Structure 1
Amino acid sequence: MRFLHTSDWQLGMPAAFLARYDDAVPAEFARARLDAVERLGEVAAERGCAFIVVAGDVFDSNSPDPQQLGRAVERLRGLPVPAYLLPGNHDSLDPSSVYRRPEFAGLAEHGVHVIRDSAPIEVAEGVQLVGAPFRSRTPAADPVAAALSGLDRPAGIRILVGHGQLEGFGGEALIDAGALAAAVAEGVVDYVALGDRHGTLEAAPRTWFSGSPEVTDFDDVEHDSGRVLVVDVAADAAGETTVAVEPVRVGRWAFRAIDADIASDADLDAFLARLAELPDKDRTVVKYSLRGEVTIGQKLRLDAALDRFRDLFACLYRRERTFDLAVVPGDGDLPDLGLTGVPARAAERLIAHAQSGSDGAETAARALRTLIRLAGKES
């Protein structure tokens, strides 16, 4: 039996912080999440998967934007194989659940099924799904333990679909890792499809987090996202099973966090080279943090380069909380800038004011950069 394991689509994710830098980016990012659903459907068809399991958080909330909900339902209808959706903490099966909306009426006719309880579901001859849906955003007890309760070893293949953090893997643990490992070891379940962690991870034998199919956070927080898992479970004549898992990349966006210490031209060149080497800039969000000291000439070169890069990246912005780059006078700054006469005298006064630390220092620094640009000098 081959199937596709995915989770944490987070459809309707607002990414509102991106709107502070470019109003168009959140909409582009929302479309990318929908496009990732199409691509994982293509993977399922190309690899001959019998069905898809989505281990929670199909939606980012139970009240998605109507446009996002409508478009998401259309993507679900278009999947080439049956899909089984598990309510997670973001889209729990509470009274306000998105899965109770009229848009979900009749979707089963199109092969889209919401896992509403833990009753075994026969998805193929000799193959069972057992789900552990969230009935509230913060369950009082482990839904996976409840789903496993009373289960014996099956005659065929059984796949458990759950959501939540395992003990020992960071965050607030919800799932009893020991009990889950025992169920796998005893053959009560043959594969555990988990969601909640947004990066792909083999947490234990036959127990995987698929991760989100499209990035949701920066790479200093979220690792190995943008993948789905193609899972093969085979049973021999004696009923013993083997499992093979292949991660497949479907995500196209990237969120990069770049930190650098700047103390020389070489350091500055290295930082700018890192930006230049990043691929797919129009689908990449970069936050950068710089520390150290630069001369006025270096700062002007940095600003000019960042202005060019902002036109290339989906979003490029400074991380204010950790940014600590001082501008200091450098030998020959003014001669290097090529200014003479009135512009040179104006630059001298602006430099003094910018370096004074007094009120208006930042304004003076911006004025100096404007002066250099108007004089036709970029570095």
Structure 2
Amino acid sequence: MPKFLHTADWQMGRTYSRFDTENGSALVEARYETIERLAALAAEQQCDAVLVAGDVFDAQTVSDRTIRRVFNATRGFTGPWVMLPGNHDAALAESVWTRAKRLNAIPENIHIALEPGVISLPEQGIAVLAAPLTQRHTYGDLTQPFDDMQTAPGLLRIGLGHGSVQGVLPDEIDASNPIAPNRADIAKLDYLALGDWHGVKEINPRTWYSGTHEPERFRNNDAGYVLIVDIAQPGAMPEVTQRETARYQWHQWREHLSVPSDLDKLLNRITQLPEASVLDLKLNGTLTLAGDRKLTDVLSVAEARYRSVTFDRTGLQLEPTEDDISALHADGYLGEVVQELRERQQPTHADSDAGVARDALAILAGLLTPNDTEVAK
């Protein structure tokens, strides 16, 4: 029973400019670690081959060091690998692949599909029909030649492509590199391994996107997995198993707060995240001063605990309760300032700058609220 691992969209060499240097570097390193993890998984599962369906590299201009590190990371699986150029690392006349060859960086067990055709792996019982991109964008279906490609009897016919299955993915994805949704049937493929969509997605029982091995953006599309594919014999239906490889989980939350229970639920969710989390939080609504202090404390702890925490509180409006005001002991002039800042958060205020007013009110509340040490004295 031939078995192989299907992965894609590594995009090695990408950077994370939206993050600070420390976090960006950690996210880059995670992508190498995850290649090592999937190589070890392929060995553990006794896979016959690993198929990488395009975009191994993020750009043609990645450094020589990146090229060498990528191939070094594959050493945990000594069986055959087949790597397909995608739109980010297309098989141009001069490309990242030709540079890798000049560097002598490509191990003997790794096959690079620089031209359309069949890569036969008879010992593994697999014939890989490859459709590499030779330019970044095409407007014809590069998998169409699969229909006429001949393979040896007894070998699985496994297609390897990179592009957009038409009529299935979002419209904005369908602009280039089209792939017919029924290609596996027309070309009599046992399985069509695809890349370009960065999450796991089943098109039909014989056609799958594996997604990227390590999430790199805030999108809830099942990124961070590889697929283990078992096919008993030519013509048999594939058994596809999704296996997690991700080092980090990415979460993007957009929350509206209106009552205290909303805040309590949010804080509980934050504290329950695994440490290997990347969190992007944007809040709007209203918050009491006591609630604002609780939120600040939890976010402070989260910033130290998780890989990265970014948050936007500009949509929050502070609405002190009577208890809040009483706790501040803001009488006389200070009471008038608190009231003025409350009013300036309203969008109807003539000179409204809600963000500045909210921040000023939070700072003033922090200054007026006695801390535990002062109370003890």
TM-score (norm 2): 0.86
Matches within 5 A, 1:166-181: 166-167=165-166, 168-170=168-170, 171-173=172-174, 174-181=177-184
The answer to whether the 8 Å contact 1:6/1:211 transfers is: yes
Matches within 5 A, 1:103-122: 105-107=103-105, 109-122=107-120
2:282 maps to: 289
Instruction: For residue 149 of structure 1, report the CA deviation from its aligned partner.
Output: 4.6
2-structure distance, mates of 1:372, 1:34? 49
1:191 maps to: 191
Q: Does 1:270 align with 2:265?
A: yes
2:282 alignment partner AA: S
Cα distance change on mapping 1:119 and 1:288 into 2, 3 Å: same
Instruction: For residue 70 of structure 1, report the CA deviation from its aligned partner.
Output: 3.2
3-state SS, counterpart of residue 305 of structure 2 = coil
Matches within 5 A, 1:141-290: 141-145=140-144, 147-152=145-150, 155-156=153-154, 157-167=156-166, 168-170=168-170, 171-173=172-174, 174-183=177-186, 187=188, 189-218=189-218, 221-235=219-233, 240-279=235-274, 281=275, 283-290=276-283
The answer to whether the 8 Å contact 1:350/1:368 transfers is: no
Q: Does 1:94 align with 2:113?
A: no
Unaligned runs of 5+ in 1: none
1:355 alignment partner AA: R
The answer to whether the 8 Å contact 2:67/2:100 transfers is: no
Cα distance change on mapping 1:73 and 1:350 into 2, 3 Å: farther
Instruction: For residue 175 of structure 1, report the CA deviation from its aligned partner.
Output: 2.9
- 1:193-220 CA distance string (max 9 Å, x none): 00111111111121111111111222xx
Matches within 5 A, 1:292-303: 292-303=285-296
The answer to whether the 8 Å contact 1:107/1:113 transfers is: no
The answer to whether the 8 Å contact 2:164/2:179 transfers is: no
> Percent identity among equivalent residues?
28
Q: Does 1:325 align with 2:316?
A: yes
1:14 maps to: 15
Instruction: For residue 233 of structure 1, report the CA deviation from its aligned partner.
Output: 1.8
Instruction: For residue 121 of structure 1, report the CA deviation from its aligned partner.
Output: 1.0
3-state SS, counterpart of residue 80 of structure 1 = coil
Cα distance change on mapping 1:80 and 1:329 into 2, 3 Å: same
- Larger mean Cα displacement after TM superposition, 239-248 or 158-167: 239-248
Instruction: For residue 369 of structure 1, report the CA deviation from its aligned partner.
Output: 4.8
2-structure distance, mates of 1:70, 1:153? 33
2-structure distance, mates of 1:109, 1:314? 33
Instruction: For residue 124 of structure 1, report the CA deviation from its aligned partner.
Output: 2.1
2-structure distance, mates of 1:350, 1:303? 22
The answer to whether the 8 Å contact 1:84/1:112 transfers is: yes
Cα distance change on mapping 1:35 and 1:295 into 2, 3 Å: same
2:98 alignment partner AA: R
The answer to whether the 8 Å contact 2:190/2:235 transfers is: no
1:182 alignment partner AA: D
3-state SS, counterpart of residue 57 of structure 1 = coil
Cα distance change on mapping 1:32 and 1:103 into 2, 3 Å: farther
Pick aligned residue for 1:365 from 347, 355, 361: 361
- 1:222-275 CA distance string (max 9 Å, x none): 31111111111222xxx5433211111111211111222212221111110010
Cα distance change on mapping 1:298 and 1:350 into 2, 3 Å: farther
The answer to whether the 8 Å contact 1:56/1:195 transfers is: yes
2-structure distance, mates of 1:196, 1:124? 28
Cα distance change on mapping 1:377 and 1:61 into 2, 3 Å: farther
Unaligned runs of 5+ in 2: 345-350
